[in-house]
Structure 1
Amino acid sequence: MRHRTFLLCLAVLCFLFFLLGNAGLAITDPVESNYALTAKEMVASGDWLSPQIYGIYWYDKPIFIYWMLCLSYSAFGFTDFAARLPGAFFSAVSVLLAAWYMLRRTQRLLAAALLAAMTTTSLEVWAIGHSVITDQMLFFFTSATMFFTYIGLTEKKPAYIRGAYVMAALAVLTKGPVGIVLPGIFFLIFIAIRRNTTYAKRLFPLGGILLFFAICLPWYGMMYARHGMDFINGFLGFNNVVRATISEHPKMNVWYYYLLLVPVSLLPWTGPCLYALWKRRRFSDEYVYMTLWALGTIIFYSLMATKYPTYSYVANMPLLYLGALYLHALGQKTSRRLWFLVTGPALFFWLLLFSAGIGIKPADFTLHSLTELLIFIPIAAAILLLAQWKRAFPAIPVIITTGTALIYLILMYQVLIPFYAYRSATALLPAASSFHGQLYFFEEYHTSFVYYTGLPAIYTAPSNYDDNVRLNRDEIWSKKHLFPTEEADVLIDRLRRHEPVWLIVPDSKYKHFMQSEFHDLTRPVGAYGEYHVFTSL
């Protein structure tokens, strides 16, 4: 009963933590707005089977995130809170899953509390937990798949193996084949390393396999029945094979990308997580399994051509688990040197944020006052240093957790809310009612405007402008954009005929616009945030 009460309180506390401030975070471009608008169109059309955006079926991701958004919109309306609710929920249950697994393995509440605290306050978990993307859901389902499989294999618990197949099916409905392919590779390598034929026999129960297909096959089957090869080519061909073989962001396609990213994503717990990976090394089932999960994920995505910060996210769970085990064992030791592996990265993280608060003055948007942040961080750092110096080591994880959580809350209201507004087209909303005529975005489309206003808009650019050339990437990536487009000569003809036309020009494209063939055929209307609005003469 004590464990159940702990887990229940943990779930409520984490859910509230991830919900705080979400209602003030605008939907950002270019990623979040695609998910938000797709789900909005699905609710409006009543078609919850086929993702669609701008009235066009598209196959960027499977259905699960859209179902979650559709349910949230149906309950709470088309609000920023509703859009971010699924991310907050799956963040909370991911923390709950980690704590449950630690409790099951160790029967120690302190170890479970440490892992929960580390997971909740690690940088990437906190950031993605407030985002409208698929990765928090994949993080949960993949972690559940891995945890359940390990229990099933090592403890001869067939129900957990079946549960793992259910979680893998939901991962496939969230992100596609990687939901089963990546864990499957890890399982097979683990069994081969352990040379355990018993594990191999336990891995493929008929009941689990049938559950997997019963959960994920209906949606894929209905999509193929409705859309045929368009779905296969769009989803598997373009959004899986092309992403793996042709880089969307060539500048980021470097072998060390995730080796740099993962340590940053684990802050402020980077020290114990990475040190535990080295220090706790042994040829035991659990260590081999967790190491294979962590390093295998990093290697797998390092081999992919397209690199994204969130791709390696699922590697964080085993690293946090090992780090929590090490931190729990460290509680019995009084070595300042070993404890500095815990306090050092936290101090670095806090002081990095402090330096950014002093030195970074955004030119494109106005931050709220950073006074609270600049006062709180030195105080928190001083308390942490005092605990380190006085050897009050059991207090250190509490100080880091509390300090980081409070810093995040300050950042939410002082930094993230204005930053998200800047990354969104909400500044244009006061002017939306005055746009009577055809609306255009110049060189940079902002889907969030369409999401918030419901007004159709068209992308246009000068005839000599090529976004793929600008980004030095393959022209195949033009297929990614489904928003309406219009060639420059069509717009010029409209302008010469003095049709009611409105052009929205972001700050970053203003110089290009002034040099374009559109400029002499338009007049300025006004500036709204980082957008300039022009209309026909």
Structure 2
Amino acid sequence: MSRHVLILGLVCFLTFFAGLGRGAIGDSDEAFYAEAAREMVHSGDWLTPHYNYELRFQKPILFYWFVAVAYKAAGVGEAAARVPSALAGLGLSLLTYLVGRRWFDAATGFFAATIVATSFGYFSIGRLSLPDLPLAFFIAAATWGLIEGVGVPLAAPAVSPARRRTWLACAAVMMGLGLLAKGPVALVLPMLAVAPVWWKERPSGRAGDVVGWQPRVTDVLLVAGLVTLVAAPWFLAMLQHHGPAYIHRFFVGENLERFATDRYNDPRPFWFYVPIVLGGLLPWSPFILLWLPTWRRVFSGTRLVTRAEWRAILWAAVPLVFYSLSIGKQPRYILPMLPPMALLLARSVLARLPDAPVRMPRQTALAWCGTLSALILFTLGVLLHRARPLLFALTPSLALVGSGVITIAAVSVLVASWSRRRWALPVTLAAASIATLLSLQYSVATAADLEPVQVMARTYTAVYHGEPSATHRVFVRNLVFYTGVKQTDLVEPAAVVAFLQQSTRVLCVITRDDLDRLTRDHGLQTRTLAEVQYFNPAGVRLRTLLWPDPSRDLETVLLVTNQ
């Protein structure tokens, strides 16, 4: 076990922590949490989150506390803002190992944990200051605890009620922390996942059946009490300070309406999460094809699904179905289903790796899945090479090295796919994934100097003298993090015109295209104080990757004043 944990620790260091501070805080949701935690440390108000020096009621407090503590320990910066997410990635990998070791065997747990640590989905979210990966950890830990608390023991002949209650208590604490991190979904998903497991493994009373366990009222009260003990004090304090408006805004607006309406997210089709899951599991997702012959044997009655496999299937299915039924969908919502998916993938791959010889008969299905993974990595390397004209802020040599490393990794996986050595493909693909992820981190997210928003912020602070300041459609969320100055978000063009036509001096950050259009239509008189070239990731389309065009895909961002 210690050897497995040490190796997983090294893998997680490379995929979650190496270069964590590279890349500016993005003009995205990440800026909300990084900046709100900075304002928390600066103001000393550890009860109510503030963003852009205004109340922020959208999310509970726990993730802000995590980031604020990191700021206190290491100073305000990109790495400190992202450490809680990286730690959650490490925790999810280790938790997957422990679950796999307990439900299956050590090899399955270790392989599944490696899949979690090297999957593109967890890598990308683990390097952003967002509460979603910590939430996924709390949900995964709570789900495991509830299943162990009410399910039939898989290894030991019996589990004492006291030990079951320990599992339930741990699950309750995790649900309480998840409630403090993101909201009621931390209660809903574990409960929905454990319900069919309990129903399937409940006491039947038939002779010869494995004896299940029937939770008592005291067990339910234990779970409810611990969840309340962990989460209620902060919500009650917020109720006391801000009244019922906060409770209504958070529980109804930020949870019920976000799930059931399109107020916050555009409606997306029911199948929206299928490609998201496949992309999040890359480069391992092609091995899902190995499930097809297994399920064919299951449906024909020649293979039974084990109790541990049923648990993993139900655990993975609940988040997928739950979020697929929602109106407002976001890709990162589906993160809690990746650990059980990794367990099932690990079982499928290991089943095709015979124990006995070092050189085994060629596994054609496994080889073709590995070949598909190699082609995906090769395509990624080609796209990175083609995108170099857009990555103007990067060191050119690093972009070339990155695409070269990814290409070599793809070729290595292709060779290993058709090797007859037992561990050649899993080990090579894990190493190739690490090399690919680090290449992306140190090429795409590594600027030769300051990034555009940091350059703009440096000039801004040099010319700022207390005048009103605003942004329009660019650096809307992250400029305040680097300037420490409240920014007005001018959403409509008319608001920009009115702002720049004031008689007193103002500052505005706006793209050249938007300013030229408003100047042409309204005769604005402005003076440019600074300009930077900016590649907006939110504007990336398939065309951008296949046929990059700097004149079309790059924006010129201006800092202007009306005097």
> Matches of 2:51 and 2:381 in 1, distance apart?
41
Match status 1:526 vs 2:526: no
Per the alignment, residue 141 of structure 1 pairs with: 138
> Kindly tell me: are residues 508 and 97 of structure 1, through their superposed partners in 2, closer, same or farther at Cα, counting changes over 3 Å?
farther
Question: 1:128-277, aligned counterparts within 5 Å?
Answer: 128-152=125-149, 153-155=151-153, 156=159, 157-158=163-164, 159-194=166-201, 196=203, 198-201=212-215, 204-248=219-263, 253-273=268-288, 275-276=290-291
Per the alignment, residue 541 of structure 2 pairs with: none
Match status 1:70 vs 2:77: no
> Kindly tell me: are residues 194 and 107 of structure 1, through their superposed partners in 2, closer, same or farther at Cα, counting changes over 3 Å?
closer
Shift of 1:93: 1.4
Runs of 5+ unmatched residues, structure 2: 154-158, 205-211, 299-303, 355-359, 535-556
Q: Which moved more, 1:449-458 or 1:60-69?
A: 449-458
Matching residue's letter, 2:482: Y
Per the alignment, residue 473 of structure 1 pairs with: none
**Is contact 1:274-1:319 (8 Å) kept?**
no
> Kindly tell me: are residues 447 and 462 of structure 1, through their superposed partners in 2, closer, same or farther at Cα, counting changes over 3 Å?
closer
> Kindly tell me: are residues 512 and 183 of structure 1, through their superposed partners in 2, closer, same or farther at Cα, counting changes over 3 Å?
farther
Shift of 1:510: 4.2
> Matches of 1:246 and 1:366 in 2, distance apart?
39
Write 1 or 2 for the structure with the bigger share of helix: 1
Per the alignment, residue 440 of structure 1 pairs with: 470
Shift of 1:101: 1.9
Shift of 1:265: 0.8
Per the alignment, residue 79 of structure 1 pairs with: 77
Alpha-carbon RMSD: 2.6
Shift of 1:214: 1.0
Matching residue's letter, 2:251: L
Per the alignment, residue 430 of structure 1 pairs with: 458
Shift of 1:444: 4.3
Question: 1:303-342, aligned counterparts within 5 Å?
Answer: 303-332=325-354, 334-342=361-369
Which of 7, 12, 15 is matched with 1:14 structurally?
12
**Is contact 2:47-2:234 (8 Å) kept?**
yes
Secondary structure of residue in 2 paired with 1:521: coil
Matching residue's letter, 2:374: L
Which of 416, 436, 443 is matched with 2:445 structurally?
416
Secondary structure of residue in 1 paired with 2:410: helix
**Is contact 1:26-1:417 (8 Å) kept?**
no
Shift of 1:104: 2.5
**Is contact 1:267-1:345 (8 Å) kept?**
no
> Kindly tell me: are residues 444 and 363 of structure 1, through their superposed partners in 2, closer, same or farther at Cα, counting changes over 3 Å?
same
> Kindly tell me: are residues 344 and 96 of structure 1, through their superposed partners in 2, closer, same or farther at Cα, counting changes over 3 Å?
same
Matching residue's letter, 1:428: M
> Kindly tell me: are residues 508 and 98 of structure 1, through their superposed partners in 2, closer, same or farther at Cα, counting changes over 3 Å?
farther
Per the alignment, residue 499 of structure 2 pairs with: 491
Question: 1:267-306, aligned counterparts within 5 Å?
Answer: 267-273=282-288, 275-276=290-291, 279=294, 282-306=304-328
Match status 1:391 vs 2:388: no
> Matches of 1:59 and 1:440 in 2, distance apart?
22
Matching residue's letter, 1:245: A
Secondary structure of residue in 2 paired with 1:310: helix
Q: Which moved more, 1:278-287 or 1:522-531?
A: 278-287
> Kindly tell me: are residues 202 and 365 of structure 1, through their superposed partners in 2, closer, same or farther at Cα, counting changes over 3 Å?
farther
Per the alignment, residue 548 of structure 2 pairs with: none
Percentage identity across paired residues of the two chains: 25
Q: Which moved more, 1:255-264 or 1:51-60?
A: 51-60
Per the alignment, residue 505 of structure 1 pairs with: 510
> Matches of 2:255 and 2:448 in 1, distance apart?
31
Which of 30, 33, 36 is matched with 1:35 structurally?
33
Shift of 1:309: 0.8
> Kindly tell me: are residues 510 and 286 of structure 1, through their superposed partners in 2, closer, same or farther at Cα, counting changes over 3 Å?
farther
**Is contact 2:11-2:117 (8 Å) kept?**
no
| 1:36-74 deviation per Cα after TM superposition (whole angstroms, max 9, x unaligned) | 111111111211111112332222111111110010000
Shift of 1:532: 1.0
> Matches of 1:104 and 1:316 in 2, distance apart?
18
> Matches of 2:509 and 2:182 in 1, distance apart?
34
| 1:397-432 deviation per Cα after TM superposition (whole angstroms, max 9, x unaligned) | 11111111011111111112349976x722302312
